[in-house]
Amino acid sequence: MQRKQRLTRIQQIQQLLVTTEKEKGLLGLEKAGAIAEIDAAQAAKDSAIENNANITDKAAAKAATKAAADAAKAEINKDTTNTAALVTTEKEKGL
Taking a C-beta distance cutoff of 8 angstroms, is the pair 43, 65 a contact? Answer: no
| Closest alpha carbon to 34 in 82, 23, 49 | 82
Give me the pLDDT at residue 54, please. Answer: 93
- Supply the mean pLDDT for the chain: 83
Per-residue pLDDT reduced to its tens digit, 27-53: 888 888 888 999 999 999 999 999 999
Q: How confident is the model at residue 15 (pLDDT cuts 50, 70, 90)?
A: confident
Helices (runs of H) and strands (runs of E) counted in the chain: 3, 0
Indicate whether this model's pTM tops 0.75. Answer: no
